[in-house]
Amino acid sequence: MPAHSKLMEIAEAERPQERLERLGASALSDVELIAMILRSGSKGHNVLNVAGSLLNDAGSLSQLIHWSDGEFVKFKGIGKVKALQLVVVIEICRRILASEEEDIPILDDPKRVFKYMRSRTIGLGVEKFWTLCLNRKNRLLRVCEATSGTASNSLVHPREVFREAIRFGASAVICVHNHPSGDPSPSAADIKVTRQLRDASNVLGIPILDHVIAGSPKTDPSGLGWYSFQESRML
């Protein structure tokens, strides 16, 4: 049976495609939106059932941003290709969110830094480290990814942080890295690298205004979702 025929088995009034054509995408439920991406289910499980099971397991549509293709393929009716399609859709959404941020933001406190970087840090399974290059008025010149680590480790060297700052003529920098666990509390390694960055900034004459660790408000003991070395007087 052709893949698209699985959707055809559903009563016409209930078909997501017909509802999409008549009412627009905003009229579709979360389950129907996922069903439109999957297109087909498996024997004994129509596509809406598969989409419903997936969302029930995730808890909500927004939670799918944390999922990998390996988690999607656990569901009957979702093979490797469909799992990768879902991962691609999630990445497209992540990039759209990033592109819709304020064009030239002023980043003068950790809350603004966290909010601006949220679309880049949310759902990441590995640690990444960014250098935010700023002008004299703390307006963002460029966001530069310095390193991308493993699930439990992200190492950065001052040369990786300040190389791009020098290239783009930054007057100051703010460093940001994420904790995949969601708890932004600094580790001993985080404290050590921050001290190294502070010392390097003094030599180069490019101030490091802050080092912000991005986590999640839900798993941050303080409820903020971020940790600021500047606010903690560790810079």
- pLDDT tens digit sequence for 54-76: 999 988 888 888 888 999 999 88
Q: Please say if the pLDDT value at position 168 is more than 50.
A: yes
Q: Residue 111 burial by CB count (10 A; 0-12/13-18/19+): exposed, middle or buried?
A: middle
What is the predicted pLDDT for the residue at 4?
Answer: 46
Residue 23 has a pLDDT of: 84
pLDDT band at 162 (very low <50, low <70, confident <90, very high): very high
- What are 120-150's pLDDT values in tens digits? 998 888 899 999 999 999 999 999 999 987 6
Local confidence band at 18 (pLDDT 50, 70, 90 cut-offs): confident
| Residue of higher predicted confidence among 138 and 44 | 138
When pLDDT is averaged across residues 179-201 and rounded to a whole number, the result is: 94
pTM of the model: 0.63
Q: Which domains does the chain have, with CATH numbers?
A: 5-98 (1.10.150), 102-228 (3.40.140.10)
142-161 burial, b at 16+ Cβ within 10 Å, e below that, comes to ebbebbebeeeebebebeeb
User: What pLDDT, in 10s, does the model give residues 97-125?
Assistant: 766 555 678 898 999 999 999 989 988 88
pLDDT beyond 70 at 151 = no
Q: How confident is the model at residue 5 (pLDDT cuts 50, 70, 90)?
A: very low
Per-residue confidence (pLDDT) for residue 12, from 0 to 100: 46
